[in-house]
């Protein structure tokens, strides 16, 4: 007599195990989440950068084997259907959806949690957020484009720091699904160079060989280094130099010394016949002006300017 309840219990347990196995095999419900660490859990969503947070949350739910509930509809058991397998599958699906929905809600700050916690399924929650932020994305695109069009480099900041700012804006445009060709990006970056770079800008515009963004950035970095080096020598030593005006020989030595400091072993900047006709102050201006023109000129033009 005592053996009958035991056998009944064993039979019931075997039925539940077989039902769960069939449900998982037939795809009616996802397997229970594995024992995983929650290191992949994204930071709480605070109404900013939804696209980024959405991708991180999707990956997190994937590691928990729950991502498919974001798109699945609730299974229904038809009226009068008392099939134990179907009923168990629905119960298991509801449990997995409950887990997924709460993992999702726990990834939001409290203010957003209170707004969206009334959603009945995680699919409803996911679609609700997607609709809201897709509408806002349209405004974001216009904002990013306006930011790009209004961006202008200035002389008060280094060119390379402003190039990095512009590259971030171009990346944001690409992230919003607006594809710009590399030729357009190169031309736009050249056009936005500051006013003091007008000669170098014109030189780049007239280049026939097409450049990549990487090539342009390298050229701009080299040019800025050259300009900074030129500014270092344009210091108090030259401005306050005690240029002797007692005859052509002393003036010539002073100018040659200054030229070597400015251009190293480059050709002479001041014509020898000018030494007797110009004051020391005028000669300093000539050296600075010609050195700047040589720096901004292309190599073929430098040969012409030196003549």
pLDDT (tens digit per residue) in 32-58: 444 555 667 888 988 887 888 888 999
| 204 in Cβ contact with 190 (< 8 Å) | yes
Same domain, 8 and 104: yes
Which long-range contacts link 49-55 to residues 24+ away (Cβ below 8 Å)? 50/129, 50/133, 50/136, 51/133, 51/137, 51/175, 53/107, 54/129, 54/130
Residue ending a domain, choose from 208, 229, 250: 229
Same domain, 24 and 71: yes
User: Which among 19, 25, 28, 30 is positioned nearest to 100, based on CA atoms?
Assistant: 30
Same domain, 271 and 179: no
**Count: domains in the chain:** 3
In a domain, residue 143? The reply is no
Domain that holds residue 287: 234-306
pTM: 0.43
Same domain, 28 and 115: yes
pLDDT at 139 over 70: no
Same domain, 15 and 85: yes
Same domain, 8 and 107: yes
Same domain, 125 and 71: yes
Q: How many CA atoms lie within 13 A of 17 on its CB side?
A: 6
In a domain, residue 141? The reply is no
Same domain, 206 and 301: no
In a domain, residue 144? The reply is no
In a domain, residue 207? The reply is yes
Mean pLDDT of 221-236: 79
Summarised one tens digit per residue, pLDDT across range 199-219 is 999 999 888 888 899 999 999
pLDDT of residue 184: 92
Q: How confident is the model at residue 124 (pLDDT cuts 50, 70, 90)?
A: very high
Mean pLDDT of 170-185: 87
Residue ending a domain, choose from 111, 135, 159: 135
Angle between helices 299-306 and 280-296 (to 10 degrees): 160
Alpha helix (H) residue ranges in the chain: 3-25, 50-63, 84-105, 110-116, 122-150, 159-175, 182-191, 198-205, 213-233, 236-239, 248-263, 280-296, 299-306
Same domain, 27 and 102: yes
């Amino acid at each position: 007599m005592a053996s009958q309840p035991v056998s009944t219990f064993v039979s019931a347990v075997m039925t539940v195990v077989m039902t769960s196995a069939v449900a998982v095999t037939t795809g009616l419900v996802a397997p229970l989440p594995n024992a995983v660490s929650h290191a992949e859990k994204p930071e709480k969503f605070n109404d900013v950068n939804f696209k980024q947070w959405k991708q991180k949350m999707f990956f997190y739910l994937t590691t928990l084997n729950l991502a498919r509930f974001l798109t699945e509809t609730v299974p229904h058991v038809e009226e009068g259907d008392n099939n134990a397998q179907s009923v168990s599958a629905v119960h298991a699906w509801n449990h997995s959806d409950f887990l997924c929905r709460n993992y999702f809600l726990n990834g939001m700050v409290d203010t957003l949690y209170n707004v969206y916690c009334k959603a009945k399924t995680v699919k409803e929650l996911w679609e609700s957020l997607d609709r809201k932020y897709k509408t806002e994305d349209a405004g974001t695109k216009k904002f990013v484009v306006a930011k790009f069009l209004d961006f202008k480099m200035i002389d008060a900041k280094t060119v390379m720091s402003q190039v990095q700012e512009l590259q971030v804006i171009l990346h944001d445009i690409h992230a919003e699904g607006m594809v710009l060709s590399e030729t357009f990006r190169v031309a736009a970056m050249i056009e936005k160079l500051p006013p003091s770079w007008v000669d170098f800008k014109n030189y780049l515009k007239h280049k026939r060989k097409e450049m990549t963004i990487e090539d342009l950035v390298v050229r701009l970095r080299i040019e800025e280094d050259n300009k900074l080096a030129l500014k270092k020598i344009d210091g108090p030593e030259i401005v306050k130099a005690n240029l002797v005006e007692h005859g052509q020989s002393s003036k010539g030595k002073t100018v040659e010394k200054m030229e070597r400091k400015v251009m190293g072993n480059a050709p002479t900047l001041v014509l020898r016949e000018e030494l007797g006709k110009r004051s020391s102050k005028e000669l300093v201006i000539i050296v600075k002006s010609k050195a700047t023109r040589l720096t901004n000129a292309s190599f073929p033009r430098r040969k012409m300017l030196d003549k």
